[in-house]
Structure 1
Amino acid sequence: MPVYVYSILLPTHPQRLDGLDGVGDPPAALRTVHSEKLSAVVSDAPEELRPKRRDLGAHQAVQEALMADGTVLPLQFGLTATDDEAVRAVLEDRADEFGERLRALEDCVEYHLKASQDEDALLRQILRESDEARELNEAIRSGSGSPELPLALGELVSQEVQARQGRLAAGVIDALRGFAREERSSQATGNDFLNVSFLVTRDNEKSFLSEQQGLAEELGEEFDLRLLGPLPAYSFV
C-alpha cells in the first residue's frame, strides 16, 4: 500500500508519535520505518491526497512535534512511496547524504523573511533623488514634452526600483547573515523585494530576532518585514 512520508530522523530521536494524527480522513496512524542508520516517520497514504487545510495542518503538526524532541529532516507535503520497503531502500541508499544534512540541521530552526516597500513612498523617493526622473516627470506634467516621455519615465523608474530594492535586499541579508548557519534566497513575488530563509541555531535565535527587529525599526514604516518562525527547516533539507 502507498505510504506517506513525513520526516527522516536518526534512530536516537525519541520518535514520540502518541497523540499525533497523520493525513487523510479519517486520519491515518503514524508509524516508523527503520534502516540501520536512519528512521522515517510514515503513515498509509490516502487515495486522493490534496493540499487541504486539514492535511496541511496534520503534516505541519507532525513536523513541529518531532522537531521539539530533536533534529529532523522535514519533508515537503505530498511525498509518497510505494510501500515501507521502498522507504527503507531510500534510507539505506542515501544514508550518508541524509546523515550529513541531519548533522547540519542539529539544534537549528528556520526563519523565513519577506519584505516589501510602499510603492508610493518608493516612487516619491526616486523622484526626489533622481534628477533625470524628476525632470521627465515635470516635463510630462507640464504637457510640453513628447509622447515618448511617459515610456521613458516608466523604464527609468523600473530600473531604479530594481536597483534600489536589490541593494536593500542585499543589505538585509548581509546584516542577518552573521546570525545564521545557512541562508537560501528565493525569487520574490508580488510587491516583495526579498524572500529568504535563514537556518538559525537555537543559541543564536535571540540575537537573530533582535537584529531583525532593529532592521525593521531602522527601515521605518514604509517597509513591511514579515518574519515567520521558528519553522521546521524545509528550505535546508
Structure 2
Amino acid sequence: MSVAHDELRYVYAVCRPPTAPLAADLTGVGGVPPKQLCHEGLVALVGPVPERDFAQDALRAHLEDLDWLAETARAHQRVIAALATVTCPLPLRLATVFRDDSGVRAMLEDQAERFVRVLDRIEGRVEWGVKVHVEGEAASATGRAEEPARRGPRTGRDYLRQRRRQRAAHEEGWERAEAFARRLHEELSSHADDARLHAPQNAALSRASGRNVLNAAYLVPRSHSEEFVELVDRTKDEGRGTDCLRVELTGPWAAYSFTGDDITEGAGDENVKGAGDDTVTGTGDESGGGA
C-alpha cells in the first residue's frame, strides 16, 4: 500500500487473521476504509490519515477540540466493533499513528510477544461495563431529613440542628450507595475472568445524570455473557430501592480495559507519531469501552 508524503498510518487494533472479511462499506477515521497489514501471524488494522491533523503539534491541538475528538473516537470504535465480529481484537490507543507501513511492522515485530500474550488472554472474551449512579443529591434519607427544613427553622438553634440532620442523612445515603457499589463489584467480579475499576466519570463530561459511584469493566467469556447480563439485571431491582441508585450496563465491547496501557511502548520514536503523552486511551464512553 503506497503512502503519500503527507499521510501517516493510523492503527486501530492488532489481531490474529480474521475468520471473515470486514464489511465492504466499513469506514474509519476520515471516512477511509481500514486495511489489513500482516506481519508474521499478526494483523494490524490501519488506515491513512493526514499529517496535518495527526502530527504531534496538530494532534495536541485537536485533543482540545471535543467535537473533533468525539468524531475520531466514534470512527475508531466503529472499526473496532466491526473487527470484533470476525476476530478478537486488541484495540490500540486512540490516535496511535506511525510514519508508514514499515513503522507499523516494526511495532508488530517488537511487541509480538506481548501482543500474543494479551490476545491469548482475551480470546473468546468480551468486555462489559457497569456503572452505578446516585440520582441527584437528594437520596431518600436526605429527603426525609430536609422535610422539616421546608417549614423553616424557628430559632438559630433549630436551624443548626436541622443542618446537622441534613448532613448526617446525606452522608448516610452516600455510605449506603458506596456499600451497594462495593457489593455489586464483588459479586460481578466473582462471575468474570478479570475486572477493572476505573475512576468515576465526571458528570460534566459524560452528561450522565447523578453522581457516579462505580465505573467498572468486566472480562467475561462470550459464551457466559447471557448469564452475566441476567446477574446485572437482578441487581437493578435491588438498586431501585436504595437511595435512587441507577445501574447501567454497556457492552459487549472489545476488551479495551484488559489490553494494557503500554502496548505501543518500545516501537521506536522515529516511527511513532502521536503516541505516548500525546495520545488518549481508546476506552471509556467516548469510544464505547468500559470506561
Bin the TM-score by the shorter chain: 0.7 to 0.9
1:35 to 35, 39, 50: 39
Partner of 2:240: 220
Partner of 1:13: 18
Report SS of the residue matched to 1:68.
coil
- Cα distance between partner residues in 2 of 1:177 and 1:71: 22
2:141 to 89, 113, 125: 125
* CA-CA distance at 1:209 after TM superposition: 0.6
**What pairs with 1:145-156 in structure 2 (closer than 5 Å)?**
145=157, 156=168
Q: Is the 8 A contact 1:6 1:59 kept in 2?
A: yes
Partner of 1:180: 192
Counterpart check, 1:2 vs 2:8: yes
Q: Is the 8 A contact 2:239 2:247 kept in 1?
A: no
* CA-CA distance at 1:158 after TM superposition: 5.8
Query: Is the alpha carbon distance of 1:42 and 1:15 closer, same or farther for their aligned partners in structure 2, counting shifts above 3 Å?
Result: farther
Query: Is the alpha carbon distance of 1:99 and 1:158 closer, same or farther for their aligned partners in structure 2, counting shifts above 3 Å?
Result: farther
Gaps spanning 5+ residues in structure 1: where? none
**What pairs with 1:61-140 in structure 2 (closer than 5 Å)?**
61-119=78-136, 122=139, 124-125=140-141
Query: Is the alpha carbon distance of 1:102 and 1:141 closer, same or farther for their aligned partners in structure 2, counting shifts above 3 Å?
Result: farther
Report SS of the residue matched to 1:179.
coil
Gaps spanning 5+ residues in structure 2: where? 1-6, 55-67, 204-210, 260-291
Partner of 2:61: none
CA-to-aligned-CA distance 1:56-96 (integer Å, 9 cap, x gap):
33322211121111211022332211221111111111111
CA-to-aligned-CA distance 1:14-57 (integer Å, 9 cap, x gap):
36243321211xx224222222242200011133253253x433
- Cα distance between partner residues in 1 of 2:143 and 2:76: 48
* CA-CA distance at 1:219 after TM superposition: 2.0
Matched to 2:155, the amino acid is G
Name the stretch that deviates more: 41-50 or 225-234: 41-50
CA-to-aligned-CA distance 1:90-119 (integer Å, 9 cap, x gap):
111111111111111111111111111234
- Percent of counterpart pairs with the same letter? 27
Q: Report the aligned-residue RMSD.
A: 2.9
TM-score, scaled to structure 1: 0.81
Report SS of the residue matched to 2:13.
strand
- Cα distance between partner residues in 2 of 1:141 and 1:75: 58
Query: Is the alpha carbon distance of 1:52 and 1:121 closer, same or farther for their aligned partners in structure 2, counting shifts above 3 Å?
Result: closer
Q: Is the 8 A contact 1:16 1:66 kept in 2?
A: no
Q: Is the 8 A contact 1:37 1:95 kept in 2?
A: no
- Cα distance between partner residues in 2 of 1:220 and 1:162: 15
Q: Is the 8 A contact 2:18 2:87 kept in 1?
A: yes
TM-score, scaled to structure 2: 0.68
Matched to 2:98, the amino acid is A
Report SS of the residue matched to 1:63.
helix
- Cα distance between partner residues in 2 of 1:149 and 1:97: 60
> RCO (CA 8 Å, sep 6+): is it higher in 1 or 2?
2
Q: Is the 8 A contact 2:34 2:46 kept in 1?
A: yes
Equivalences, count? 226
CA-to-aligned-CA distance 1:104-140 (integer Å, 9 cap, x gap):
1111111111111234652x32587xxxx89xx8xx9
